[in-house]
A = this chain, B = another copy of it.
Amino acid sequence: MSRAFNFSAGPATLPQAVLEQAQAEMLDWHGVGASIVELSHRGPEFMQVAAEAEADLRTLMSIPDDYAVLFLQGGATMQQALLALNFAEPGQAADYVVTGHWGKTALKQVNHYVQAHVAASGEAGGFRDIPPRADWTLTPGAAYVHVTANETIHGVEFRELPDVGDVPLFADFSSSIVSEPLDVSRFGVIYAGAQKNLGPVGVSVVIVRRDLLERAGQPRADILDYRSHVKGESMLNTPPTWNWYLAGLVFKWMLAEGGVEEFAARNARKSALLYRTIDGSDGFYRNEVAPAVRSRMNVPFFLRDEALDKPFLAEAKDAGLISLKGHRALGGMRASIYNAMPEAGVEALAAFMRDFQQRHG
């Protein structure tokens, strides 16, 4: 098969130009006689790759100088544990706003470390809406407030930044980072697994307001200490160099394409087309999320007749549209349309959906 349009939620589709460059450089990076994945992380070649990746991400996201940027292993889940270990005192309160599956996961990592308090939850409503800020019950003296900017499974996304006063706002941006301009200065910590919008799986980005690093936190190993990682410039131990390199290629591709403003416009068009196709199907397809908080990145939808799920997936695959099966927690379908999904891919999906409905409706 040639390249399909791949709607996987993560690991997710990568820009073809990035894959082609990685392919061309696989046996010999820039004439040094070895692949970048075979070179020391402390050698001049990889140090340059690493520095450029950080600089490019800082440019893309307009990250202020008083924020450190880390490239770490362990995924977003590991960062969820480290947030509590690094920024809360043992047993201190920490507020969690739970708007889907990943907010619940975040909570699960910190029970041993903090007094985790659910300040608000959309669970009673099946995570189809985000509880309004006015309904949140924040805890005085909390170490931080944690939100999930975009819920990959439930398809809800914060479209406005909540005001939480002087308490630092920590946000899991795994599935929506660099999808539109963001005011980084509103956050204490932004973290993201890279395997959705940033590039390859196996590396995570953590953006930390430096003053928070002065917090004592809890007794922890050196490898679990963000201060040590900042001091070691994300090379406290051997970093995932190939993954970091591939993320760097994605950053350069994004900058060349026009940066986050351009991707924000594309993502708005892509998601609008998909929701329009769903909403205009007379109920043949449905998305149950409150329109104001519908995700621009992950569009879960259901067919009215579940018996058509299998034919839908099979015919879509034949049409070169893959990885549309919904998460097992929800069933149905899900189209993940991160930055690297071209508009042509979403147009092809929308056309296929209309055609499928005509034939099976």
Give chain A's interface residues, CB within 8 Å of chain B: 1-4, 6, 8-14, 16, 19-20, 22-23, 26-28, 31-35, 37-41, 43, 73-78, 80-81, 84, 108-110, 112-113, 193, 195, 200-203, 219-224, 236-243, 246, 320, 322-323
Cβ B240 vs Cβ A202 within 8 A: yes
Integer count of this chain's copies in the complex:
2
Q: Collect the chain B residues with CB atoms within 8 Å of residue A11's CB.
A: 37-41, 238, 241
Contacting A219 at CB < 8 Å: which of B2, B112, B322?
B112
Nearest CB in chain B to that of A237: its residue: B77
Cβ A14 vs Cβ B35 within 8 A: yes
Q: Collect the chain B residues with CB atoms within 8 Å of residue A32's CB.
A: 1, 4, 322
Q: Collect the chain B residues with CB atoms within 8 Å of residue A223's CB.
A: 74-75, 77-78, 80-81, 109
A151 to chain B, nearest CB (A): 15
Cβ B40 vs Cβ A28 within 8 A: no
A231 CA / B221 CA spacing, docked (Å): 24
Q: Collect the chain B residues with CB atoms within 8 Å of residue A193's CB.
A: 237-238
User: Which 9 A-B pairs give the minimum distances between C-beta atoms?
Assistant: A4-B33, A202-B240, A81-B221, A77-B237, A112-B219, A23-B26, A73-B73, A1-B33, A109-B221
Q: Collect the chain B residues with CB atoms within 8 Å of residue A6's CB.
A: 33-34, 38-39
A114 to chain B, nearest CB (A): 11
Nearest CB in chain B to that of A200: its residue: B37
Given A75-B238, A202-B73, A242-B242, check contact A224 B81 (CB 8 Å): yes
Nearest CB in chain B to that of A108: its residue: B222
Cβ B1 vs Cβ A14 within 8 A: no
A318 to chain B, nearest CB (A): 11
A38 CA / B196 CA spacing, docked (Å): 9
Contacting A73 at CB < 8 Å: which of B8, B78, B80?
B78
Nearest CB in chain B to that of A27: its residue: B19
Cβ B34 vs Cβ A13 within 8 A: yes
Residue among A6, A112, A242 with most chain B CB within 10 A = A242
Enumerate 21 A-B pairs (CB-CB under 8 Å) in ascending A order.
Answer: A1-B31, A6-B33, A8-B34, A8-B40, A11-B41, A11-B241, A33-B320, A33-B322, A37-B246, A41-B201, A73-B74, A73-B240, A74-B78, A75-B238, A76-B237, A78-B237, A80-B223, A81-B224, A110-B221, A202-B202, A202-B239
Contacting A27 at CB < 8 Å: which of B20, B108, B112, B195?
B20
Q: Collect the chain B residues with CB atoms within 8 Å of residue A43's CB.
A: 8, 323
A2 CA / B81 CA spacing, docked (Å): 45
Contacting A26 at CB < 8 Å: which of B26, B77, B237?
B26
Given A35-B19, A238-B195, check contact A28 B2 (CB 8 Å): yes
Cβ A202 vs Cβ B243 within 8 A: yes
Q: Collect the chain B residues with CB atoms within 8 Å of residue A243's CB.
A: 202, 240, 242-243
A52 CA / B35 CA spacing, docked (Å): 25
A134 to chain B, nearest CB (A): 32
Given A32-B1, A33-B2, check contact A10 B238 (CB 8 Å): yes
Q: Collect the chain B residues with CB atoms within 8 Å of residue A246's CB.
A: 37
Nearest CB in chain B to that of A20: its residue: B27
A246 CA / B195 CA spacing, docked (Å): 17
Q: Collect the chain B residues with CB atoms within 8 Å of residue A201's CB.
A: 37, 41, 238-242
Apart from A8-B38, A73-B240, what are 11 other A-B pairs with CB-CB below 8 Å?
A2-B28, A10-B238, A12-B38, A33-B320, A73-B74, A80-B221, A110-B221, A200-B242, A202-B240, A202-B241, A240-B240
